[in-house]
Structure 1
Amino acid sequence: MHWTTSTVFRHSSLYAVSSVLLAVTPLSSAADASLNDDIRLGTVIVQALKQAPAIAAQAKLDEVAGGTSLVSQAEVEKGRSATLEDTMAYQPGIYAQAVGGNDGVKISIRGSGSTTPPGYFREGIKFLFDGLALTGAGGTPYELLDTQGLDYTEVLRGANAFEYGALTLGGAVNFVTKSGLTSPGSRIKVEGGSFGWQKQAFSTGGVVENADYFVSVDNTIRDGYQDFTFTKAKGVVSNFGYRFNPKLETRLYIRYREEHHEISGALTRAQLKKNSSQTNPTTLATRSDSTKFGSTWIGSKTTYTFDDDATLEAGLVYHNYPQVLARHSPVNPSYWDWRDINYSLKYSRTDQVLGLSSISTVGWSSTQHIRSGVRTYKGDKDLGGLQKQAEYDGSFDHVFSLGNDLGLTDSLYFSTGLSAIQIKRNVNVTYSDRANTSGLPEHYIYDQWKLAPRIGLRYYIAPDVQLFANASRSIDPPSTFSISGSAVTLNYAKPLVPQAANTIEFGIKGRNGIFDGSLAFYKSWIKNELLSVELLPATNTSAAVVTTANSSPTIHQGIEAGLSTRLWEGANGDSLTWRQAYTLNDFRYENDPVFNRNVLPGFPKHLYQGELQYQWANGFYAGVNVQSASSTAADYANSFYAPSYTVWGGRMGYDDPSETWQLYLDLKNLTDQNYATAVLPTYNARGSDVASMYPGDGFGAFAGVTYNF
């Protein structure tokens, strides 16, 4: 009798033996042969259980030579789950702060899109659903960046997002939807709390022969902490899958969301200190708001597995996201019509190259405006019809990438990659409410190819602990809307060009004993960084003038540290855990002729989050948490700063071991502190107390209950 087992490679994303074959051969002696006539031993196959998708995704992220993390939505939902601020908590390197309680969260990774105001399309990060692009040539509309229907979220910082065709400074965030395979059964969830917060959600999923389905609907409303920040939204998330045979499967994802919210008004430091729930008079007078009548994102992904386990994955997305800004304002509203088509193709295979394990990938992705533009009223909206202001049709980003991960030894792996991106921006301004004083034509067109290489090393000093280092180049094209400015006029001194950054990164990550964490150091040298600034504030009769321009060379560098420590574990299964995240943001000019080596506004230099939580074996949990941020520059001249702050919170709840019930109570800002959660950068405040601070919520209590059946 002999035993044959399959070989385990570290490259395997499952870190597990897929099967073990026990082959029994006939015995050779005559007596044994006679015995075999009566007893026949067959082949026994023992197959391991398939890993949960989140565990497999984490193992795959571990194989990236750089900063990555995975956020379990089940952990997020142990407290309030309202915006990306809740989802991205305790993630090093990520700055995610809600402004006014709506989905227009200010979110940045490594200073990406550093000065993009809250409520604008997100820039500097590529967002995806289930590996299919949400972000397009116009940036990322934020109404679909809600937390509904998520299983887990992948965060790949900087060039570590190479796999997803992301070339941005910030990298990529990939939201993975629940399916009938991962979330069978039905679920009802109800949340409520301070500032009129209400959320109702229902989901159901299951498997029918070779098909599976998951559908979730939700409705939310919030009166708001600050005056004039009312928000309401409702949406549908669905995921349908079908397996034709063991080699071919396909999925259809549909997301639809309607949203209306009033836009938060920035305060002066004096106003913030006196009463952070107030808003400024101009915001009340202009009644600026945002209405999304119905954003639709439909994605399809089909995967074919070849006989040699190579895979081919094809994706197609249709994205329609119309919106109206200042719908109820005495200032003329603007009507935005956006339609994108996104597609992707990826081939990956595992080989042996000169006896070394090798994983190679070839990818192609595209995001393109097929119909996009903005309209407004020429003159008084009560007297004239809608006037087309700008068109963006034909703008696109095409990315072709080649990558390889080579196992030089059992412990050392070398990754290489090269991306080529074709960037086209086609902006035609046909009408402006302000004169074009730039001296440039109203038709802007940019069409060029750029290259972005990447190399990386990872070395395992223990089975689950690795040292890593990488060097990369990133390319951030300007969004189409930023080229024409918020007032839909050519507000730039020279045509915008993509920003480019060269980045080095090194660190350590992994799990060992009671510790699970990562530590990364990075530095980026950036040319033509795209910086946005409010040149003229809004008035009772005109909108603010916010423009984007390429800057002189800048440097982004920092530290990203995350650590979860199991401080104590009882014999009965009780445990005490402390999780922490620290981010050092050092973003500054290299040697600007006006601002020298000033820091870039909009981010605190130091940001710390921590939570100490006790988990009982019977399902109860309770903990205390803290977020602390240093002061934040509010202008490029560094003449005015938002104050530092420390905010305490606590949460407790119950997860039924039978998974039938979940309950939680989440307390925010226990000391009811007045603080600025985000800053609207200005050019030069000249030391005056300008209205540039968005207030964070005061003390709030939120509760939720979930019933699974």
Structure 2
Amino acid sequence: MHSKKTRTHVTPAGLGGRLLSLGAGLCLAGGPLWAAQAEDGAADARLATVVVEGAARSEAQKAAEQLKKVPGAAVVVDNKEVEKGRATNAEDVFALQPGIFAQATSGSGANKISIRGSGLNTFYQGYALGIKYLFDGLPITGPGGTQEDYLSMNGIDHTEVLYGANAFDYAATSLGGAINFVTHSGYTAPGNYLRLEAGSFGYRKQQLSTGGVVDDSDYYVSIFHNERDGYQHDTPNKGQELVANLGHRFNDRLDTRLIVRYREETLTQGNTLTREQIKHDSNSNKVPTGRKKDGSTWVGSTTTYRFDDDSRLQVGLSVNDYPLLNGWRYSATPQDWRSTDTNLTLRYLRRQDRLFGLPSDTTLTFSSTRSQFADVKSHSRATGQLLQHTDYTGSRDTVFAFGNELQLDERLWLVSGLSAINIDRDVSIEYSTSANTSEFPGEVSYNKWYAAPRLGLRYQLTPDVQLFGNASRSIDPPVTWQLGSTGVPYVRPLTPQKADTLEVGIRGSVGVVDGSLALYRSWVKDELLSVVVRQATATADALVANSNASPTIHQGIEAGLGIQLWEGANGDRLDLRQAWTLNDFHYRGDSTFGDNELPSLPRQVYQAQLNYQRHDGYYAELNARAASSYYVDYANTLGAPSYTLWGAKLGYQAPGRRWEVFLDLRNLTNEHYATAANTAYDAKGRDSANFYPGDPFNVTAGVAVRF
């Protein structure tokens, strides 16, 4: 990565103190601190200009430095590194991150994303669960979950991932934590930029952006288009997107930023296959399903007022309108989803305070997301008759959070916090042609409060090595459509899942080695689990049931290791990065399944990347991903096949990244594998259609130019 240099001219006043505060890594140049010259027999001390040069830190580097204060697992992914190859979806962005499972189907944004088993058996076709997603600190996740078309990763400078309760400052209360996508600005992406990608199975992507700074304002505008014919038969997808980020600084105390995202998307998903089909007929697709977004619009605004150097208030407002036409192709009963959420976020940050005579930092956060309008209607494709209407309007998630970091001594910090969480759910079947003969009601409405405490420690063992540990509680409310949608004429009275988690770990660097290790255990109550009751057919949609489970355990090990294997005199480097995840998710004495493993995620995942970077911009990479087998049913009778995938990248980045080119090769051995799976109740050991096929050998080429 090529870094810019900053040149700072230091005035005489306070020179010594300022030099001491510049920190490690800065070099002093430009002559002596002062020069003495005698004139007419008197000493006339004159200060010379001092020029300080250092590498300007990127926004991603600043974010990574800030996350070191979190007493638990948290990482930053720099999109500049991701864009050395294909950069299409969450699978591309979260590769080599321990503890994160992100796999795509049909090459689209329909990703299965899970952190520490959150939403572990989420199904595709429109929503992501178990994690709070944000753009620039403002939530896109609401009472109805997260629409997957927003996970296109377009216009992103870097991504922050905070595991579990470590996402406290973002008012995230879920077991999986939070993923915050930070949009490019005129400062991070100045000038004009053109990027083109093309590859196997008809994949195409085009991007054109412009950004810059004008006086006290900055701007970034980007347009995208993506398209793919698909690997499975009849699985085309396409989308177009606009991203705009406008900022203005009124004075030293007040600044504001407006961010707009608009995306249209049309895609067809392939049906799940049996293990036998994965091996011998993996592009089969007899029951395709379609999803269409006529225009998702997210508008967010953040305004920051600085009372002084140590305290500031951030006010965030956002509107999220995300319609969805599910089953627009093939389905006998397509569904029209209409959703509009509003959010208000307030953050007050106080730094360099004193508490009990000790240095103290405090954060107060308020976040409330309300479904201003939300419903779903299903109708008969053959007759146009309305079959069912379910309403979610008024559902709301509200969080008040108080957090404090207290420095106990020069190496030890105590981090504490308490969240008060209000869950409001209003779900009702307004109309249905089917009679409700179940034990469940046609309407559920409740307003409940929960408390989620957090306590953590971090200890600076050396300047570059840190120990951490924390105890926390998480609250995962059911999203509205889990209670009821269009498949059945009743509403299930689901309650939020609760989890108590202990986590310990270490992170840092020693010489040419850097890495992290985290161990965690979560005691989960009322875990929200899903099961496929009926597979999709040519005449009927799939039927999925959601319920609160008996007590479960989520525990695991997350390890990341980077080693600089060699560095030449001219700056050439050979680096090895590795990530290993151990997942152990199981029941605790369930009356039916005992201590069975929970289905849907590999027990072990290993990833590695060997990268050779030349000083003149050329690079080559060999990478691997291996996943163990895992069960796809709660009875633990049918397993997904294990797999190992090999890949390679070749590329060149011109000085200053004025232009770059890459070749990204994946699945070099043409492995036939299941990228993800549905969950069944009891497969009785019989092979069944629960597996999403991964892409065979494929190639993507790309070129980018800055002008």
Question: Structure 2 length normalisation: TM-score?
Answer: 0.93
- State the 1:298 CA deviation: 0.3
Alignment of 1:41-80 (within 5 A): 51-80=57-86
Where 1:658 maps in the other structure, the secondary structure is helix
Counterpart CA distance in 1 for 2:54 and 2:486 is 56
Q: Do the aligned partners of residues 438 and 33 (structure 1) sit closer, same or farther apart at CA in structure 2, a change above 3 Å counting?
A: farther
| Counterpart contact for 1:605–1:630, Cα < 8 Å | yes
Where 2:86 maps in the other structure, the secondary structure is coil
Deviations 1:319-344 (A, max 9, x none): 00001011122502110000000110
Match of 1:500 in 2: 498
Match of 1:345 in 2: 346
Match of 1:467 in 2: 467
Where 2:250 maps in the other structure, the secondary structure is strand
Match of 1:203 in 2: 209
| Counterpart contact for 2:637–2:683, Cα < 8 Å | yes
Q: Do the aligned partners of residues 7 and 391 (structure 1) sit closer, same or farther apart at CA in structure 2, a change above 3 Å counting?
A: farther
| Counterpart contact for 2:256–2:302, Cα < 8 Å | yes
Alignment of 1:21-170 (within 5 A): 35=42, 51-170=57-176
Instruction: Give the aligned CA root-mean-square deviation in angstroms.
Output: 2.4
- State the 1:182 CA deviation: 1.2
Counterpart CA distance in 2 for 1:7 and 1:406 is 27
Counterpart CA distance in 2 for 1:101 and 1:664 is 19
Q: Does 1:593 align with 2:591?
A: yes
Q: Does 1:567 align with 2:565?
A: yes
2:323 aligned partner, one-letter code: P
| Counterpart contact for 2:427–2:491, Cα < 8 Å | no
Match of 1:228 in 2: 234
Counterpart CA distance in 2 for 1:176 and 1:314 is 17
Residue of 365, 368, 371 corresponding to 2:367: 365
Match of 2:395 in 1: 395
Q: Does 1:250 align with 2:252?
A: no
Counterpart CA distance in 1 for 2:151 and 2:128 is 10
Deviations 1:158-208 (A, max 9, x none): 110001000000000000111101111011000001000000110110011
Where 2:437 maps in the other structure, the secondary structure is coil
1:5 aligned partner, one-letter code: G
Unaligned 5+ runs, structure 2: 1-11
| Counterpart contact for 1:585–1:606, Cα < 8 Å | yes
Percent of aligned positions with the same letter in both sequences?
Answer: 48
Counterpart CA distance in 2 for 1:585 and 1:479 is 25
Deviations 1:439-491 (A, max 9, x none): 23211112100000000001111112101000000000000011104515336
| Counterpart contact for 1:458–1:466, Cα < 8 Å | yes
Counterpart CA distance in 2 for 1:467 and 1:433 is 59
1:640 aligned partner, one-letter code: L
Where 2:655 maps in the other structure, the secondary structure is coil
- State the 1:66 CA deviation: 0.3
Where 1:686 maps in the other structure, the secondary structure is coil
Counterpart CA distance in 1 for 2:412 and 2:19 is 18
Where 1:455 maps in the other structure, the secondary structure is strand
Counterpart CA distance in 1 for 2:230 and 2:201 is 5
Question: Structure 1 length normalisation: TM-score?
Answer: 0.93
Unaligned 5+ runs, structure 1: none
Q: Do the aligned partners of residues 103 and 488 (structure 1) sit closer, same or farther apart at CA in structure 2, a change above 3 Å counting?
A: farther
Deviations 1:642-694 (A, max 9, x none): 11111111111001123211110010111111100101001111111110010
Match of 1:5 in 2: 17
- State the 1:387 CA deviation: 5.8
Deviations 1:361-383 (A, max 9, x none): 11100111000001122xx4453
Match of 2:3 in 1: none
Match of 1:679 in 2: 677
Where 2:201 maps in the other structure, the secondary structure is helix
Where 2:276 maps in the other structure, the secondary structure is helix
Where 1:143 maps in the other structure, the secondary structure is helix
2:358 aligned partner, one-letter code: L
| Counterpart contact for 1:436–1:491, Cα < 8 Å | no
2:175 aligned partner, one-letter code: L
Where 1:111 maps in the other structure, the secondary structure is coil
Q: Do the aligned partners of residues 57 and 213 (structure 1) sit closer, same or farther apart at CA in structure 2, a change above 3 Å counting?
A: same
| Counterpart contact for 1:557–1:587, Cα < 8 Å | yes
| Counterpart contact for 1:486–1:546, Cα < 8 Å | no
Residue of 617, 620, 623 corresponding to 1:622: 620
Aligned positions, number: 687
| Counterpart contact for 2:444–2:491, Cα < 8 Å | no
Q: Does 1:530 align with 2:528?
A: yes
Q: Do the aligned partners of residues 40 and 257 (structure 1) sit closer, same or farther apart at CA in structure 2, a change above 3 Å counting?
A: same
| Counterpart contact for 2:378–2:486, Cα < 8 Å | no
2:596 aligned partner, one-letter code: N
More strand by share: 2
Q: Do the aligned partners of residues 473 and 7 (structure 1) sit closer, same or farther apart at CA in structure 2, a change above 3 Å counting?
A: farther
Match of 1:663 in 2: 661
Match of 2:7 in 1: none
